Amino acid sequence: MDWLSRNLPYLMAGISVGGQYALIAIGYTMVYGILRLINFAHGDIFMCAGLIMVYAATVFPVYISIPLVIVVTVLIGFAVERVAYKPLRTAPRMSVMISAIGVSYLLQNLALYITGGLAQQYPALPWISDVITVLGVTTKRVTVITPPLVILLVIVLVFLIHKTKVGMAMRAASKDFETSQLMGIKINSVISLTFIIGSFLAAVGSFLYFSNYTGVTPTAGAMPGLKAFVAAVFGGIGSIPGAVIGAFIIGISENIIKGLGWTTFSDAFTFALLIVVLIFKPTGLFGEAATDKV
């Protein structure tokens, strides 16, 4: 019991942050699956969701500001795709990726301008921000509800992708972009929908993440974004369950490293893990073996 209460906090923190990474990672993995684009701006969209909540909560009560944040975040995600990625559909992949970096730069600087560079305190959300005690460990309720919520969302998403028509279109687009277009799939709507789902999950992730880690800064999305991307690659990019499992693994191992006293390398470890995976299993844990088209 003593051992448990000493070590459970690391595990709980790991699972909780892993779940939050997972919600961001899904956005990366879905966009990459279809567009073969590392959407560098995704982490910043996540940060925007946090900031919007900070400002919305000063004006509206929680039951209005939460849906409002979701709607605005989805709109931002949608707009980013339409403005910055769609015109580059025929351009080489590097151009689109650079455009993504540009959007990320713009969003961060806009946030810097609006907040004046000061860390904003995230409002305490009722119920999920409450402090509770689990097995002798004191923590916020959000730590405990994150994993089941993530799993529920993933099940819904997998159902959407495998059982609905629009999901079929998504799968087709990620298998073969051009052919699916020839088959009459409205590729632009499919892509927009992907971004909408990704941004929606990022918004949900932001509620959970910032309830735990309450300082919202213009760069607050950069590191979680990068780690979520690593998680997506780790699990096999394009695969949603893979991204989720990858995210949990990264969240947990990152906290174990800290628990072992190797705090200097907690971030470096994540990247080392990524590189090892890329070298020995380039398609990730659950990725399909890609065939090079000549």
Rounded least distance, CB 118 to another protein, Å: 5
Choice between 27 and 224, CB closer to another protein: 224
Rounded least distance, CB 1 to another protein, Å: 14
- Residues in CB range of 157: below 8 A, 6 or more apart: 26, 197, 201, 240
Nearest to 32 by CA among 93, 74, 104, 87: 93
- What are the tokens at 49? 């969701």
Choice between 9 and 167, CB closer to another protein: 9
Q: How far apart are CA 177 and CA 225, in angstroms?
A: 26
Rounded least distance, CB 151 to another protein, Å: 21
Rounded least distance, CB 189 to another protein, Å: 22
Rounded least distance, CB 66 to another protein, Å: 20
Choice between 34 and 169, CB closer to another protein: 34
Q: How far apart are CA 207 and CA 66, in angstroms?
A: 8
Choice between 28 and 195, CB closer to another protein: 28
Strands, E assignment, 28-181: 120-121, 131-134, 137-140
Nearest to 176 by CA among 190, 192, 197: 190
Choice between 108 and 180, CB closer to another protein: 108
